[in-house]
Structure formats: structure tokens, C-alpha cells
Structure 1
């Protein structure tokens, strides 16, 4: 029977099916169960949630630092203006004092 064309076709078909099943078994061996997938997905979701919280904290810290820098710059400007006014007033006092005007 293997010598006739139908017998050869059947033998080839059986070999092909056997090879396909072997390939399917190896593919299925690499798959994980639904429970393992769900557990892994839950862990990934937890990690993403933690990262989101960390990013929110960092954004809050950066905004607070930015606000503090703005307030510091305003205080520095007031101090510079005050120092310049004090220097100008000192010069005016020195000029008036040198000219003999009332002090």
C-alpha cells in the first residue's frame, strides 16, 4: 500500500499532521495559564500605580520648589531695591552734609 500514490499521500499526510502536532505542543508549552497571566498583570498594574504616585509626588515637589524660587527672587529684588535706596539716601546725606546744609 505505501507504494501506491494514495498510500504515499496518506503517509505524507500523517507525517505532516504529526509534525504539526509536535509544533503545537511546543508552542503550548510556552504559554502560561490565565491565573498566572492575571497575577502578573495585577503586579504590573500595581507597579504602574506606584510609578504614577511617585510622578505625582515629584511634580508636587517641583511645583513647590518653583513657588519657593519665585518667592525667593521677589525677596531678593526687594532687598536689592532697599539696599540701593539706602545707598542713594546715604549719598544724599553725604552731599547735603558736605555742602553744609541742614542735616
Structure 2
């Protein structure tokens, strides 16, 4: 598998920071809003943040690009960022160099919401 294909198959989290807990959309609403960009693996709400994990990196990048453009969340969205997670190892073809502790660190990309 090529490196670019592997990167696209990496789970990627879109992390949204809101002004307060009350302004964070429900998990059901977040799922409805972001599932149109591609398959999700997880949607979480915690304090004033929401995390939406996409199965594919390209889907998360598309959602990231759209988040600030359309002001879906209004002025309550303070900032948002992508967190690139380490690729999930395939059960069918494990890497010969893979170890349980040898995970690659996550990286991120940030954006600020326009008011």
C-alpha cells in the first residue's frame, strides 16, 4: 500500500472548542452534521469541546475546511483543529516492525472561527 493511501486511511479527529458546555451540540447533532463528509468512528462531548473522529483523513480535512466557511455553529465556536492520529494497524497484514508501544505521535492543524 502506498504511503499516501495509508495516510488517507488514518483516523483523524476534528476537535471543536466552544465558549461553554451549553453551546456544544449534542452527539446526535454532531453526527448528523459531520457524517455527510464521510464515515465517523467516534463522536464525543467533553466540557466545552467536541471531538469528531473520521475514518479517513481526507474526509476530516474536507470537514475542517468547511467548518469555518459556513458558520454552522455561530459565534459559540471559538476554534477548531485537526488531530492526525496514528494509522490503525490492519489485522490482516500487520507490519513486521509494529510494536504495541511503538506508535507514531499525533500531529495537528488548527483554525480559528471567524466571528
Task: Give the strand-richer structure, 1 or 2.
Answer: 2
**TM-score bracket for the superposition, by shorter chain length:** under 0.3
| TM value normalised by structure 2 | 0.18
The structure whose RCO (Cα within 8 Å, separation 6+) is larger is 2
Q: What TM-score results when the alignment is normalised by the length of structure 1?
A: 0.20
